[in-house]
Amino acid sequence: MSTLCKVCSTVTRAIHHRTFGMYHVCDYCGFISKDKSDHVSTSAQQTIYDSHNNSIEDPVYVEYFNNFLKEAVLPSSTNSKSGLDFGSGPSPVLAQILSDTYGYNMDIYDLFYSPQKSYLNKTYDLITATEVVEHLENPLDYFTLFREHLNEKGILAIMTHFHNNHDEDFLKWHYIRDRSHISFYCERTFEVIAEKMKMKVVYTNHKKFITFEKAI
C-alpha cells in the first residue's frame, strides 16, 4: 500500500535502515517521515529528553541559542515583542534569553515539561521552535497552529537540521540516530510548507535555521 507524503500528499517511496527502521521519502518536496511502526513510545521519548543536560548556566548552550537569535530572529523582529517558545524543553533557556536580554514577553509550551497550553486565545509577534519539528508526526497540523497564533507580519523561527536529499547520506546521518526524530526536512520542504501556510521564507542558512513571516 502506497504512503502519501504528510506535507504535499505525493506518493512516497521507502528506504530502510537496518537499525532504525523504514522511512518514507517524498521526491517532490523532500519530506522524509519515519514509519509509524518504528516510532518509540511516549515514555521512551521522555527518557531521551530527560537525558539532555541543558541549562542557562552552560555558556556553550547559551551561545548556541544566541547564534540562532542573531541569525534567524533578530534581523526579522519588529518593535512589538510578544513571543511563544513552542517545545521549550525541561529548562526554557531560549525564552529566558529573549525575556532577559531582548525584552520579549514570553510564553512557553512543552508537551512534557510545560503542558499547559499558554498560547490559547493569544497571538504573538514571534514563535520559536528549536529542535522541535523533527519530533512532530503530522507537521502541517503544527504549522497551521503556528500560523493561527502569529500576528500579521509575525515571524516563525525554526531550528532543525536539513537533510541533503541523498538516500545514502541520510541513512548514515547522525540525526536519525536519535530515535525520537521522526520527521526530516530539506529547504524545498519548507518552501512547500510556506506556500501551503501562506507564509514567506525571509531567512535560511540552508543548514538548520529557517524563518517565516506570516503574509498579510
| pLDDT one-digit tens code per residue, 60-119 | 888 999 999 999 999 998 778 999 999 998 889 999 999 999 999 999 999 999 999 999
Residue pair 34/21 in contact (Cβ under 8 Å)? The answer is: yes
Whether residue 53 has pLDDT greater than 80? no
DSSP secondary structure, 92-140, as one string:
-HHHHHHHHHH--EEEEEBTTTB-S-TTTT--EEEEEEES-GGG-SSHH
Beta bridge partners of 107: 84
**Is position 55 within any domain?**
yes
Q: Is residue 3 part of a domain?
A: no
* pLDDT (0 to 100) of residue 189: 98
Q: Tell me the per-residue pLDDT of 124-151, one tens digit each, with 9 for 90 and over.
A: 999 999 999 999 999 999 999 999 999 9
pLDDT at 48: 78
Side chain identity, residue 66: N
Does residue 7 lie within any of the structural domains? no
Cα distance from N-terminal residue to C-terminal residue, the chain:
40
Is 118 contained in some domain?
A: yes
Is position 1 within any domain?
Answer: no
Task: Assign 58 a pLDDT band (cuts: 50, 70, 90).
Answer: confident
Q: Is residue 5, in this structure, part of any structural domain at all?
A: no
Mean residue pLDDT of the chain comes to: 94
Q: What percent of the chain has pLDDT over 90?
A: 85
> Could you tell me if residue 38 is inside a domain?
yes
- Pairing of β 105-109 and β 32-34: unpaired
Write out the residue range of the structural domain in which residue 190 sits: 13-214
Cα–Cα distance for residue pair 142/150, rounded to 1 Å = 12
What is the model's pLDDT at position 91?
87
Number of domain units in the chain: 1
Query: What percentage of the chain's residues is helix, strand, coil (to nearest 5)?
Result: 35, 30, 40
Query: What is the grid cell recorded at 19?
Result: 537499525
From the list 119, 40, 45, 54, the residue with the least C-alpha distance to 89 is 54
CATH number at residue 89: 3.40.50.150
Output Rg (C-alpha) for the chain, integer angstroms.
17
